Amino acid sequence: MDAAKFILGACSGAHIVPPESPPATSTAQRISTRAWFPAQHAGFQGHFPGNALLPGFLHIELVLDILRIPFSHVELCSVQNAKFLRPVLANEIIVVLLNLEADGSVAAQLHVSGVVVSDLALEVSVAASCPDQKS
């Protein structure tokens, strides 16, 4: 892989390949890219000693960081569903597939070696604030 194509994500050291075509904000868009977390990443420290696994919250943060590439402001409003199906290890290439809807809903699947490792449904805001939450 050509290191010049990668950027350092806000995921504290995750390497993210920027999506080739930026999404439009008015219609549903598909975003596809790749990322990986090096063994030195802080997320692996203590999770778990001797068997380092990428914490689930970093799967979600990775999706948000990918959305922050084309959008200047992205805020997580809620996690509707999060299924972590297989551990992610250091340096594994993660293929990230996102479906971003105009209403801010995001369906994301993360794959490693062709296997789904997490399946996420998020609500995000690409505006200044999240919509009013219902009690």
Q: What's the total number of domains in the chain?
A: 1
Calculate the average pLDDT of the chain: 84
Question: Is residue 41 domain-resident?
Answer: yes
Question: Is residue 133 domain-resident?
Answer: no
Question: Is residue 112 domain-resident?
Answer: yes
- Residue 54, domain extent: 3-125
Question: Is residue 131 domain-resident?
Answer: no
Question: Is residue 61 domain-resident?
Answer: yes
Percent of the chain residues past pLDDT 70, beyond the cut:
79
What CATH number is attached to the domain comprising 18?
3.10.129.10
Question: Is residue 118 domain-resident?
Answer: yes
Q: Which amino acid, residue 107?
A: A
Question: Is residue 105 domain-resident?
Answer: yes
Closest CA to 110 of 122, 99, 98, 127: 98
What's the predicted TM-score (pTM) here?
0.83
Peptide bond into 48 cis (omega under 30): yes
- What is the arithmetic mean of pLDDT over 90-97? 96
- Report residue 79 as tokens: 């996690």
Residue 22: predicted pLDDT: 56
Question: Is residue 30 domain-resident?
Answer: yes
